[in-house]
Structure 1
Amino acid sequence: MNSPRFASAWANAAGWEDALHAVIAALPRLAQANLGFLYVSDHFAFALEPILSRLRQHTGVLEWVGATGVGVLGTQGAALDAPGISVMLGAFPLDSFRVFSGRKPLPRDFAAYAALVHGDPLTPDMSELVADMSLKVRGGQLAGGLASARQQAWQIAEEPLTGGLSGVAFSKDIQTLTGVSQGCLPLAGNWRITAAQDTLIERIDGRPAVEVFREAAGPALGADLRRAVSTLLVGLTDDDSDRRQFAARRIVALDVRTGRLAITESVDAGQHMVFLKRDEAAAREDLQHMLQELRDACPRPPAGGIYVSCAGRGGIMFDDDETEIRAIREVFGDIPLAGFFAAGEIAGSRLYGQTGSLTLFV
């Protein structure tokens, strides 16, 4: 066995036993399966231990990773704010992965080239923790998301747990590709922050930030700053060479008197940025662009995937909760797939929000 193989199943039901029974009945048998991915609706968080126990008994797979979500998804569909379970089994080459957590750190002698991680949304400085974790992965590439729940959010790394980051690291023998759709498109113009303090953008290209913001918004939005703030975002970039490579951040305050903008991340003078528009049309276009880029980058048809969507997407952003899953199927077919609606999405070395992140095993 030189490359991983996968099988998945997804089900919604009012009770966890009914949902698990439906998943087990639909889950294809996978010879040599040795790693399981489990995403459970927060409605069933109280039953994580018996769910894990029954899955181990049925599949023979001992090692599991995953998280709770305010909704779960799979190849067959997706449901936000509904009870359900999503499972994917993987048959990986021996010694090609390690499950880790705060209780069981990643071994120093394991050369990790990629990792699928899940985090606790209540852990302070999660962005810094994600960036630090990416330095422990030789390829520098993380994927995954923050567990979500109406009450206590849980991660799974062999057992249910809370706090920090957990997940599974892969050796160089496992090839993954990750794409991120932030649901927004850049407006005209490349800008540079020339004065900033913490999360406050004071001047852009030497001008008051609000003045540049109003100009970028255009006459209609610029005349209604309250609406503009709720519609537009700031995209932070490493340089101005690729306008699609950005980290979208919300604008949380605007001060006309001082000309300053406040966003949800600390910024530095000299940092490049773009202004972004987020609506359903932009989200659909960006999702299609991300999927096409991934397909073009795949050296062969993917064997399976993990999709993490923000809890603010689904039917809130699109026509219905299954819009993203249908788009994935249209591009990649009915590949084995599991995932959840998260409190934050992780890709590369960054923590995102309002995004959809697809990781493919190729």
Structure 2
Amino acid sequence: MKLFPFAHATHPDWSMAAGLVLAQLRAQMALRDYAANPTLGLLYITDHYAVHAQDILEHVSAELPEITDWSGTVGVGIASNNVEYFDEPALAVMLCAVPPHQYRVFSGVAPLGVGEGMGFQPHTALVHADPTTPDVGELVDELASRTATGYLFGGLAASRADTVQFAISGNGNIKGHGKASGVFRGGLSGVAFGEDVPVVSRVTQGCQPLGEQRTVTKAEGNVLLEIDGRPALDVLLEDAGISLDKPKEAMQLLRATLVGLTAPGAEAVVERARIFGSDVVVRHIIGLDPARHGVAVASQVQEGTRMAFCRRNAQAAKADLVRICAEIREELEPEELEVHVASALAAPEAQAGPHVARGIAGAIYVSCAGRGGPHFGSPSAELQIVRRALGDVPLVGFFAGGEIARHHVYGYTGVLTVFLESPAAGG
């Protein structure tokens, strides 16, 4: 297996940052353990560079002509191995050594499925989406249905400037793009991967339930009217510890309270460690209906939906992030290793190293814009947790306005996806 070359840099001048990134990539591509002939590039920029998106894409693609395909987007922050860039101009690139016949770049003008006539069957997909797109949740769900596994990973772009996505393939354009530049606004874009591109992906939650798991017994649109047969507002006040006798304190607690929803029939909602499971989607409380003792939430809710009121919790988020990294490592490392491999992995210098025995070629981490930085206690703390738990693997990603995993759009979560060793992968 060859590691995916990756690089990141910050500079007020995007061309200087791009130069630093290109130098790092070329140096890695000359190393034995890194892929020398990748063809797919992932490009993430902070919103400081959004106005220069076209120039950046044209520059890096011209400097790396061997990379025929590009995908990516913008975030209020971007991530790479052990580092986060928030509120500063920065970009990150990872070059993926994936067989060209095992992936397809797609966008709104070249939707997923355009390559099926060539025998390509999408199994999973990396997705970038514009949060202002109408019914974006339904579009994500529909896109998942076009894959064999139903599994998507990615996130909604987040920008205080232009909200852009990168999607370009082959000789400048995907078939159907016409004169499209490769920089898009609105809709969905990304990369679909075939069966021979194995990935492992996990969702980590950032909120902790305040009370027990309950059931919505009466709802109207997005208003919870009854929970477990009781007025929804009464349950909220009880679980969240809110007293209306102290209006100022009550409003502060109410603003900090959210609701975790799970569709009827979905699996475990709350794990033994009091952490939400991956079936839970967290939504804001957007208002109260005193006349009906109802609670309005930022999602349509059906009767029978399971739910729990919750709040963001940094300690719970850290523990859950470590848990998903451990699960990924356990899945990759077999129970029985050859003596020389086990010894190499046990050595102190290998604990954080990208040892090929770990089977990880590269990783993508998409986290909520509200999770990074101060939420974990210090700059880059979230990505430092990932590095300590997963190892020193090639990694890029961004801080999103919503995270995508399977067919859901989440909030306050992190989605970690690793590319595994593939016999079919090129070097």
Query: Which TM-score band applies after superposition, normalised by the shorter structure?
Result: over 0.9
Superposition pairs of residues 148-167 of structure 1, within 5 angstroms = 148-158=158-168, 159-167=182-190
Counterpart residue number, 2:97: 91
CA contact (8 A) 1:189 1:274 kept: yes
Q: Choose the corresponding residue for 1:235, options 243, 256, 260.
A: 260
Report the Cα distance in structure 2 between the residues aligned to 1:319 and 1:4, rounded to whole angstroms: 34
How far the C-alpha of 1:76 sits from its partner, in A, is 4.4
Counterpart residue number, 1:38: 43
CA contact (8 A) 1:237 1:274 kept: no
Q: Which amino acid is the alignment partner of residue 102 of structure 1?
A: G
Query: Which protein has the bigger strand share?
Result: 1
Report the Cα distance in structure 2 between the residues aligned to 1:179 and 1:85, rounded to whole angstroms: 24
Q: Choose the corresponding residue for 2:135, options 122, 125, 136.
A: 125
Q: Which amino acid is the alignment partner of residue 311 of structure 2?
A: K
Counterpart residue number, 1:144: 154
Is 1:52 the equivalent of 2:77?
no
Report the Cα distance in structure 1 between the residues aligned to 2:243 and 2:63, rounded to whole angstroms: 59
Partner SS state of residue 6, structure 1: coil
Report the Cα distance in structure 2 between the residues aligned to 1:294 and 1:63, rounded to whole angstroms: 28
Report the Cα distance in structure 2 between the residues aligned to 1:222 and 1:228, rounded to whole angstroms: 13
Identity %: 40
CA contact (8 A) 2:47 2:159 kept: yes
Report the Cα distance in structure 2 between the residues aligned to 1:351 and 1:294, rounded to whole angstroms: 22
The 1:56–1:148 alpha-carbon spacing in structure 2 relative to 1, beyond 3 Å, is same
Q: Which amino acid is the alignment partner of residue 241 of structure 1?
A: A
The 1:266–1:352 alpha-carbon spacing in structure 2 relative to 1, beyond 3 Å, is same
How far the C-alpha of 1:129 sits from its partner, in A, is 0.6
How far the C-alpha of 1:281 sits from its partner, in A, is 2.3
The 1:23–1:161 alpha-carbon spacing in structure 2 relative to 1, beyond 3 Å, is same
Report the Cα distance in structure 1 between the residues aligned to 2:234 and 2:327, rounded to whole angstroms: 35
The unaligned stretches of length 5 or more in structure 2 are 30-34, 169-181, 271-275, 334-357, 421-427
Partner SS state of residue 338, structure 1: strand
Q: Which amino acid is the alignment partner of residue 37 of structure 1?
A: L
More displaced 10-residue stretch of structure 1: 14-23 or 293-302: 293-302
CA contact (8 A) 2:81 2:387 kept: yes
Q: Choose the corresponding residue for 2:403, options 328, 340, 345.
A: 345
Report the Cα distance in structure 1 between the residues aligned to 2:211 and 2:2, rounded to whole angstroms: 43
TM-score, normalization by structure 1:
0.93
The 1:232–1:292 alpha-carbon spacing in structure 2 relative to 1, beyond 3 Å, is farther
Q: Count residues with an aligned counterpart.
A: 360
Partner SS state of residue 99, structure 1: strand
More displaced 10-residue stretch of structure 1: 87-96 or 249-258: 249-258
How far the C-alpha of 1:61 sits from its partner, in A, is 0.3
The 1:172–1:216 alpha-carbon spacing in structure 2 relative to 1, beyond 3 Å, is same
Report the Cα distance in structure 2 between the residues aligned to 1:133 and 1:225, rounded to whole angstroms: 41
Q: Which amino acid is the alignment partner of residue 237 of structure 1?
A: T
How far the C-alpha of 1:41 sits from its partner, in A, is 1.6
Counterpart residue number, 2:20: 22
CA contact (8 A) 1:183 1:354 kept: yes
Counterpart residue number, 2:230: 207
Counterpart residue number, 1:182: 205
Report the Cα distance in structure 2 between the residues aligned to 1:308 and 1:215, rounded to whole angstroms: 34
How far the C-alpha of 1:231 sits from its partner, in A, is 2.4
Residue by residue over 1:157-178, the C-alpha shift from the partner in whole angstroms, topping out at 9 and shown as x without a partner, is 1111111101000001111122
How far the C-alpha of 1:360 sits from its partner, in A, is 1.0
CA contact (8 A) 2:51 2:161 kept: no
Report the Cα distance in structure 2 between the residues aligned to 1:187 and 1:302, rounded to whole angstroms: 37
Superposed CA RMSD in Å reads: 2.0
Report the Cα distance in structure 1 between the residues aligned to 2:154 and 2:123, rounded to whole angstroms: 15
Q: Which 4+ runs in 1 deviate beyond 6 A? A: 219-223
CA contact (8 A) 1:123 1:164 kept: yes
How far the C-alpha of 1:282 sits from its partner, in A, is 2.7
Counterpart residue number, 2:70: 64
Counterpart residue number, 1:311: 369
Which protein is bigger by CA-based radius of gyration?
2
The 1:79–1:341 alpha-carbon spacing in structure 2 relative to 1, beyond 3 Å, is same
Counterpart residue number, 2:348: none
CA contact (8 A) 2:372 2:382 kept: yes
Counterpart residue number, 1:290: 324
Q: Choose the corresponding residue for 1:102, options 101, 108, 124.
A: 108
How far the C-alpha of 1:221 sits from its partner, in A, is 10
How far the C-alpha of 1:230 sits from its partner, in A, is 2.0
How far the C-alpha of 1:182 sits from its partner, in A, is 2.6
Partner SS state of residue 31, structure 1: coil
How far the C-alpha of 1:240 sits from its partner, in A, is 6.2
How far the C-alpha of 1:220 sits from its partner, in A, is 7.5
Counterpart residue number, 1:247: 281
The 1:333–1:240 alpha-carbon spacing in structure 2 relative to 1, beyond 3 Å, is closer
How far the C-alpha of 1:342 sits from its partner, in A, is 1.4
Q: Choose the corresponding residue for 1:135, options 145, 150, 154.
A: 145
Report the Cα distance in structure 1 between the residues aligned to 2:267 and 2:244, rounded to whole angstroms: 25
The unaligned stretches of length 5 or more in structure 1 are none
How far the C-alpha of 1:287 sits from its partner, in A, is 2.2
Q: Which amino acid is the alignment partner of residue 8 of structure 1?
A: F
TM-score, normalization by structure 2:
0.80
More displaced 10-residue stretch of structure 1: 105-114 or 197-206: 105-114
Report the Cα distance in structure 1 between the residues aligned to 2:240 and 2:94, rounded to whole angstroms: 44
CA contact (8 A) 1:9 1:23 kept: yes
Partner SS state of residue 303, structure 1: strand
How far the C-alpha of 1:57 sits from its partner, in A, is 3.0
Q: Which amino acid is the alignment partner of residue 24 of structure 2?
A: A
The 1:227–1:286 alpha-carbon spacing in structure 2 relative to 1, beyond 3 Å, is farther
Partner SS state of residue 227, structure 1: helix
Report the Cα distance in structure 2 between the residues aligned to 1:292 and 1:220, rounded to whole angstroms: 40
Residue by residue over 1:309-329, the C-alpha shift from the partner in whole angstroms, topping out at 9 and shown as x without a partner, is 222221242223411110110
